Amino acid sequence: MFKFRTDSVLRFNLLVIFLFTVVGIIIIGKAAIIMFIERDDWNKIKEKNIKHNVPIEAHRGNILADDGGLIVSTLPRYRMLFDFKYRNPNDLADEERVNAQRDSVWSKHLKELCIGLNDILPGTSVDELEKRFRNGLYPKKRGGYQPYRGSISYSQFRKIKELPIINLGKKYSGCYTQEIIERKNILGNTGNSTFGIVRDVEIDGKKSIEVNGLEKKYNEFLEGQPGSGTKAKIRGKYILREDKQPINGYDVQTTLNTQMLDICHNALERVLREKQLAAGWAILMETKTGDIKAIVNLARNAKKSGRIEYIDTIGNIKYNQTANHALCDLNEPGSIFKTVALTAILADGKLTTKDSVIAYPSMMHNFNGHRIHDEMYRNNGTGKYSMTDAMMYSSNISMVQFIKKAYSNNPEEYTNTLQRFGLTENYNITDNEATPYLTLPGTKKWNGYSLNSMSYGYAVGMTAINMVSFYNTIANDGKQMKPRLVKAILDNDKIVEEYPTEVINESLFSKEVADTITGMLVEVVNGFSIDKVNSWRKGTRDGTGKAAHSEMMTIAGKTGTAKAYDGNKKLMSFCGFFPAEEPEYTLIVQMMYDYEIDPRPKEEKDRNTYGGGSTSAVAFKEIAEKIMTEKFYRPIENVVDNNPSKPRIKRGNIKEAGYLLTSIDTLDTLTEFEKTDKWGDIRHDRQGNPQIYAKDIDTDRVPNVEGMGAKDATYLMQRCGLNVIISGYGTVRQQSIPAGRTAPKGETVKLVLEP
């Protein structure tokens, strides 16, 4: 028996060893088959479930305002999609149970869901939403049904997830979302032509990305560097493992001010719409720095419905010949170029303001067979026009005479001066910025009329940025600043690259020349009629820029009107700066007139009555006044009810105002008031403390005495060598000789005072 058991164990052990050996051989054989015979097939299966070097996109950087506020950013948007039929082929019982529960939930809470969606996504009524959901529910529509057809922001998306039905999750609600990455301008379409776009396009069947504007100029900083990862399918879901981390793009901080952008956009659009013009653009520059605070380009777009809109876009529409009119549109600027011509004449010492030319008793005159036409003529009784008269009445006939006197023997000296002024400079603010041109002596385009034409803005091609930069140099006492649109490249508020303000020329021309031209520009806006024959015109503002006159401040500027593109269009401009005494901003506004879309009767259109004075000057004034109003408006915070209101002090002598404030216990000591023997304003800050806004007295120029009492106003006028006549009482509201012009010693100025 013992022997039998021993034999049985041995046989069992041998059987087990045999079985393990067979299984081992099978495993090794199968492994060998997989490794050598089926290797390619298994690798294909592996590759289906694992994806290597999957690109991971970097977040594109933002475009920021001057204060660091967000303007353009990459934001996620979502589409809300529904699948009303749940399927589970592997578990039919689960499929039936979930569909039954869905029916119950949707039946009970559909109305509640629609009310919640209407609160979060206004624009579609509760009834309309309910109707769309029912169209998907009965019969049950499969994946991709979209009851709400718009896109949803991230904040809206988070709120929607908390609503009835949706909060049950994808399985029981059938709701899933599709993420869409959008490049978004938070200002709407304002500034789009400057910021540019980033969009997917297909060229010759290949997908590509289109960029332009600042998006293109600074793309190397904005786009960042993509990363990569491995995507593997685990338990039916793809999991992405990050192998190389993406580097997000840097932010671009501009000099643009969002409030000023909005002011320029609205004023420009209002005039364009009122006059039904084709297009318009504006550039606002900070005088001392050359910083561009606003740049707006609007073009007329007629919808199929007949509705007219004005949009700031790079889109291909009829009146949008360039991506950015203000930077890329070359035009003969017309009479705003007269300022350049007279500045050149004075800077080169060719003539002085004492020189004059013949005031022909006609609005048309021939020079060497070339007909020159003036829009307006005034008889000053002397038969002569001064430089100021030529500017004030925008006289082409006078400008031709001045330019011929100065440069007829050496026209190259004139064009050399214009080049020295930077009028052929491309500032490369954007990649497609246009390069201005001059007609030069000795070239094929030069002829016997070229010098004449270049005195009043023809035979040259200028961009708006070049013209506003030149006017900015006048406002800056001859100091030429390089226009700046981008301040810095930032990485989470850390400066990566900085673009400081840049002085091109400390003294492009003298302060004396700048002051003289400023006085002429003030006369264009504030000057009174010199007509000695038509007495009814005497005492009325009569310059071509009178529409820009402001009771708030002194504006200096010049109108311009010139043919553009073809005989049916013209460019209408106003370029200048404000306040004229101490300029803070320089501004150009240009608008395009098109004969074909002018709604007025033919006889009115034929008279061609629209010009820079009736269009661009109007928008200029609105922009200037709103900007200065916003700048000096300071809301008073944390005011205690029992505090007495601070007295308003008239403009005048600062030291005397200090004595007054001390006498009424508003000011404890005179301190800096005692040391400041100047004239100006005293304004109270938010805490009610008086602040000095003073400046030195320039006895060579007529001061702005509006807002002063009779004593201070008379004193300042007499210091300039003027005799004073006072009418009325109270505060000065009008002065007969405009502020900013050269003081005409010995003449009489009339001051009108009102309570």
CATH number reported for the structural domain that contains residue 726 in this entry: 3.30.10.20
Q: Note whether residue 513 is domain-resident.
A: yes
Q: Are strands 356-358 and 308-311 parallel, antiparallel or unpaired?
A: unpaired
Length of the chain: 755
Q: Note whether residue 117 is domain-resident.
A: yes
Strands (E), 368-446: 370-373, 384-386, 437-438
CA distances from 385 to 7, 42, 327, 652 (A): 140, 96, 35, 36
The two three-digit tokens of residue 133, written as one number: 């959901």
**Residue 475 sits in the same domain as residue 550:** yes
**Residue 461 sits in the same domain as residue 543:** yes
**Residue 618 sits in the same domain as residue 514:** yes
> Contact 436/444 with Cβ under 8 angstroms?
no
- Whether the pLDDT of residue 319 is over 50: the answer is yes
Q: Note whether residue 36 is domain-resident.
A: no
277 φ/ψ angles, rounded to the nearest 5 degrees: -95, 170
> For residues 141 and 158, what is the distance between their CA atoms, to the nearest angstrom?
25
- Whether the pLDDT of residue 605 is over 50: the answer is yes
DSSP 582: S
The least confident of 17-21, 193-197, 435-439 is 17-21
Name the one residue in this structure whose structure tokens are 């004193």.
Answer: 715
Q: Which of 151, 173, 195 delimits the end of a domain?
A: 173
Angle between helices 511-526 and 338-347 (to 10 degrees): 150
Q: How many whole angstroms from its chain centre is CA 479?
A: 25
CATH number reported for the structural domain that contains residue 387 in this entry: 3.40.710.10
Helix %, strand %, coil % of the chain (to 5)? 35, 25, 40
Q: Note whether residue 53 is domain-resident.
A: yes
CA dihedral sign, ordered 695, 696, 698, 699: positive
**Residue 432 sits in the same domain as residue 392:** yes
Average the pLDDT over 620-647 and give the result. Answer: 63
Between CA 417 and CA 329, with CA 342 as vertex, the angle to 5 degrees is: 70
Model confidence at 255, pLDDT cuts 50, 70, 90, reads very high
> For residues 697 and 317, what is the distance between their CA atoms, to the nearest angstrom?
52
For residue 347, the enclosing domain spans 258-629
The least confident of 49-58, 359-368, 511-520 is 49-58
pTM to 2 decimal places: 0.72
Q: Note whether residue 681 is domain-resident.
A: yes
The two three-digit tokens of residue 248, written as one number: 């997000």
**Residue 134 sits in the same domain as residue 220:** no
Q: In this prediction, what percent of the chain has a pLDDT beyond 70?
A: 79
**Residue 265 sits in the same domain as residue 250:** no
Average the pLDDT over 496-502 and give the result. Answer: 95
Report pLDDT digits (tens) over 73-111.
887 778 888 888 888 888 888 888 988 888 888 889 989
**Residue 625 sits in the same domain as residue 750:** no
547: closest CA among 493, 486, 620, 644?
A: 620
> For residues 302 and 317, what is the distance between their CA atoms, to the nearest angstrom?
9
**Count of structural domains, the chain:** 4
CATH number reported for the structural domain that contains residue 65 in this entry: 3.90.1310.10
- If one counts every other C-beta atom within 10 angstroms of the C-beta of residue 29, the result is 10
DSSP state string for 434-465 = PPPEE--TTSTT--TTHHHHTTTT-SEEB-HH
> Contact 356/384 with Cβ under 8 angstroms?
yes
> Contact 355/488 with Cβ under 8 angstroms?
no
User: 688 or 202, which is more confident?
Assistant: 202
The two three-digit tokens of residue 726, written as one number: 């006072």
Q: Which of 211, 226, 254 delimits the end of a domain?
A: 254
**Residue 565 sits in the same domain as residue 486:** yes
Q: Note whether residue 572 is domain-resident.
A: yes
> Contact 272/589 with Cβ under 8 angstroms?
no
Strand partners, 51: 231
User: 587 or 137, which is more confident?
Assistant: 587
CA distances from 724 to 183, 326, 705, 708 (A): 62, 45, 12, 14
**Residue 248 sits in the same domain as residue 273:** no
First-to-final CA distance of the chain: 140
Name the average pLDDT for the chain. Answer: 82
**pLDDT value for 638:** 39
Which burial class, exposed, middle or buried, applies to 354 when counting CB atoms under 10 A from its CB (0-12, 13-18, 19+)? exposed
> For residues 357 and 405, what is the distance between their CA atoms, to the nearest angstrom?
9
Q: Note whether residue 2 is domain-resident.
A: no
User: Which residues have CB under 8 Å from 584's CB, separation 6+?
Assistant: 286, 287, 288, 578, 628, 631
> For residues 446 and 414, what is the distance between their CA atoms, to the nearest angstrom?
14
**Residue 163 sits in the same domain as residue 186:** no
Report pLDDT digits (tens) over 205-248.
666 666 788 999 999 999 888 877 776 655 555 566 666 778 88
714 φ/ψ angles, rounded to the nearest 5 degrees: -65, -45
**Residue 66 sits in the same domain as residue 107:** no
**Residue 352 sits in the same domain as residue 334:** yes
Q: Which of 173, 199, 217 delimits the end of a domain?
A: 173
Q: Note whether residue 5 is domain-resident.
A: no
